[in-house]
Amino acid sequence: MLNIDTFPRRALAHLPTPIEFAERLTSHLGGPEIWIKRDDCTGLSTGGNKARKLEFLMGEALDQGFTAVATHGATQSNHARQTAAAAAKLGLKCHLLLENRTGYVDADYQSNGNVLLDQLHGAQVTHCDPAADMNAALAEHIASVGMTDSTYLIPGGGSNATGALGYVNAAHEIVAQSEARSLSFTHVVHATGSAGTQAGLVAGFKNANGSSPVLGVGVRAPREVQEANVYRLAQATAAKLGNADLVERGDVRANCGFIGEGYGLPAVSTVEAMRLAAEYEGILLDPVYSGKGMAGLIGMIRSGDLTKDHRVLFVHTGGSVALFGYAHRLDIPIPRAAE
């Protein structure tokens, strides 16, 4: 197994995160055993999946002598919030370019939730309209404030091969935890967006034991686009690990049937999944990512694709801070889960 100890890294996340059996949700849904990898508990500014990526991104930024970082995301970006927190902890300046991808203009969406925390962490926040290439828009913005030389640019979602190392590490962690408890998972399900989480997991499982259990649930792009993005990044991640042939196209699978009307717009199935997790497990999902990931898992149980013959690990990627930016969007009439 190739190891990742040689890459620059700074400790930011509480690791390893626990794996817990979701006993009441499992029995309510009547399908496979559902276990949850609690990456919502990574600790950094409440937690979430970006903490793992930022360990490697910030390691690289500091080792290369940068004094500031900049990144972009949707207005209620969890990635922006965790980047602001990591920068604060490591003494770096932080610029955030937040794109209004949903069209929501209410006060909660614009300034509560993640945006409130961005500001509390001392980040400089600029709001903007969506651009075709947000990585390019970010570079232009940083140039316009004269900070190009001192600023390490982090792509959206922290999703490049460096950031994906955080999820190579997570896959190694899951394999070690599973072996220690004699558990094996037929599927590892999670929300996939900017692709770094899935790319890292796919490369990490292949690297650890040759397995290929990962199933992404898309939150934005159609399936062909999402799988192509994940595959490209998984290959780049594998190349960074020194084995460009590690990942095959067939290792990358995404179900993009639970997006609803678009990125950041909760569907009825999203809110139902959030309510089930909250009422049966005391677990907070979010309306943009983990709620759609869980809606996918529930949908695949109901359609018979996942059955009692399977055992699923749901990677809870975090996001509950966004609830406070979506307070008025969750009032969708769905019967209470317990009725």
Ligand X SMILES: *Cc1c(COP(=O)(O)O)cnc(C)c1O
Q: Kindly give the pairing relationship between strand 19-21 and strand 33-37.
A: antiparallel
At position 299, the amino acid (one-letter code) is G
In the complex, minimum distance from the CB of residue 118 to ligand X, in angstroms, rounded to a whole number? 14
Q: Which of 27, 45, 77, 194 is catalytic?
A: 77
CA pair distance 157, 197, nearest whole angstrom: 9
| Residues 166-195 contacting ligand X, CB under 6 A | 191-195
Q: Are 176 and 209 contacting, i.e. CB atoms less than 8 angstroms apart?
A: no
CA pair distance 173, 189, nearest whole angstrom: 16
The site for ligand X, by CB under 6 A, has a size of 20
* Cα–Cα nearest to 314, from 280, 339, 268: 280
Give the phi and the psi of residue 192 in degrees, each rounded to 5: -120, 130
Residue 79 in the binding site for ligand X (CB under 6 A)? yes
Residue 112 in the binding site for ligand X (CB under 6 A)? no
Residue closer to ligand X (CB basis): 207 or 320:
320
Q: Which of 71, 78, 114, 207 binds ligand X (CB under 6 A)?
A: 78
Residue 159 in the binding site for ligand X (CB under 6 A)? yes
Residue 286 in the binding site for ligand X (CB under 6 A)? yes
Tokens, residue 63 = 């080792």
* Cα–Cα nearest to 5, from 72, 75, 77, 55: 55
Residue 287 in the binding site for ligand X (CB under 6 A)? no
DSSP state of 18: P
**Of the ranges 29-37, 112-120, 169-177, 196-204, which one interacts with ligand X (CB under 6 A)?**
196-204
Q: Are 253 and 265 contacting, i.e. CB atoms less than 8 angstroms apart?
A: no
Residue closer to ligand X (CB basis): 157 or 296:
157
CA pair distance 173, 318, nearest whole angstrom: 18
Q: Which of 31, 32, 47, 48 binds ligand X (CB under 6 A)?
A: 48
Residue closer to ligand X (CB basis): 25 or 288:
288
Q: Which of 197, 207, 235, 270 binds ligand X (CB under 6 A)?
A: 197
Tokens, residue 168 = 């190579």
**Of the ranges 8-16, 61-69, 251-259, 285-293, which one interacts with ligand X (CB under 6 A)?**
285-293
Cα 327-274-203 angle, rounded to 5 deg: 115
Active site residue 77: yes
Residue closer to ligand X (CB basis): 193 or 264:
193
Q: Which residues bind ligand X (CB under 6 A)?
A: 48-49, 78-79, 157, 159, 191-198, 286, 289-290, 317-319
Residues belonging to the active site: 77
